[in-house]
Amino acid sequence: MTRRVLVTGGSGFIGTNLVEHLLGLDDTEVVSIDRDPPRNPAHTPNWRGVDLLDRRALHRAVAEAEPEVIVHLAARTDLDGNQVQDYAVNVAGVDHVIDAAADARVDRVLFGSSQLVCTPGHRPVDEFDYSPPNAYGRSKVSGEELVRERAGDRFTWALLRSTSIWGPWWGRLYSTFFRTVAAGRYLHPRGLDVHKSFGYVGNAVHRIELLTRVPADQLHSRMLYLSDDEPYRILDWADEIAVAWGRGPVRQVPMWVLRTLAAGGDVASALGWAAPPITRYRLRNICTDTRFDLAPLIELCGPAPISRRDGVESTVAWMRTHPDVLAERN
């Protein structure tokens, strides 16, 4: 029996990969709604141009699509805003999706959230222990609270906190690490052994699709982190990326060198450089362990099917052939 899945934010990075994954399934029809056209032109027949802040347009689009499942990924994801109001789609957009899903009698909605509901390095005692580091994180906290307050038992729902997801169809800003390694400019702090929960996008969309199918009583009102199974040792990952680009192992330098370069990166950013290779914010992130409990996700979805090395090779191959997308999109 054919089912219909509606993806909000289907023109974004994760959304593009999810739409592609769903289109490859024999039993699934896909509708993508986004205010922007698809970054993958092949998805244009499945796309409907809708701004989630337009409540009526969203309700109309959901009613016309008649989906059994909504995967809500639409969001503003940059860190440039100064207040929650700058991220209206992350709050009002969630509110509109809740009502549209309930009115259309959708069975299940997966709501995309973010690890930045907590400051990097903070290990929450439970899913309600918030410590957002910026306006973007605060907007995602507000979105989660809206889901808990307003979705209730109107449909089956779950919150998916994405960690740092990487891979094909990302844009210039979020591919900075890969491009810095490719250029031989990545400098790893000497002696620093940092591990982080990151995720290859192919594994992420595989698991999102599985979560559209797991029994409702196993999924309803749960929060799950979206990441690969084990935290990455960053030096190992950087070396894998370097090899995929045809370079030798990355260089390691004393921390004082990186602090000096990061201060210079802050100055360059203030002068208008959109993505300097290193800033103090990025250096703090590089030096901070971020690990999350993936056991609940693995219990529901099984192990990640794609190895990190294979993901790196696929990503580098894609980056070599899509410089136009990297130049234009985040």
Per-chain mean pLDDT for the chain:
94
Residue 303 CB neighbours (<10 A) = 11
Domain assignment present for residue 110? The answer is yes
pTM of the predicted structure, to 2 decimals: 0.94
Domain assignment present for residue 59? The answer is yes
**Tokens coding 289:** 């362990």
Residue 249: DSSP 8-state = P
pLDDT at 285: 79
Domain assignment present for residue 142? The answer is yes
Burial of 202 (0-12, 13-18, 19+ CB in 10 A): buried
Indicate the number of domains in the chain: 1
Sheet arrangement for strand 156-162: 47-49, 28-34, 3-8, 69-72, 108-114, 156-162, 222-226
Q: Residue 70 sits in a domain of what CATH number?
A: 3.40.50.720
pLDDT at 86: 97
pLDDT in tens, 9-49: 999 999 999 999 999 999 999 999 999 999 999 999 999 99
pLDDT at 329: 61
Domain assignment present for residue 147? The answer is yes
Structural domain range at position 151: 3-162
Domain assignment present for residue 50? The answer is yes
d(CA 306, CA 204): 10
CB 69 within 8 A of CB 30: no
Domain assignment present for residue 171? The answer is no
Residue 300 sits at φ, ψ, to 5 deg, of -85, -35
pLDDT at 10: 98
Alpha helices in 1-66 (DSSP H): 13-23, 55-65
pLDDT at 129: 96
Q: Residue 245 is inside which H or E element, if any?
A: none
Structure-token match 């940059």, residue found: 78
Residues of the chain with pLDDT under 70: 275, 328-330
Secondary structure (3-state) at 167: coil
Domain assignment present for residue 27? The answer is yes
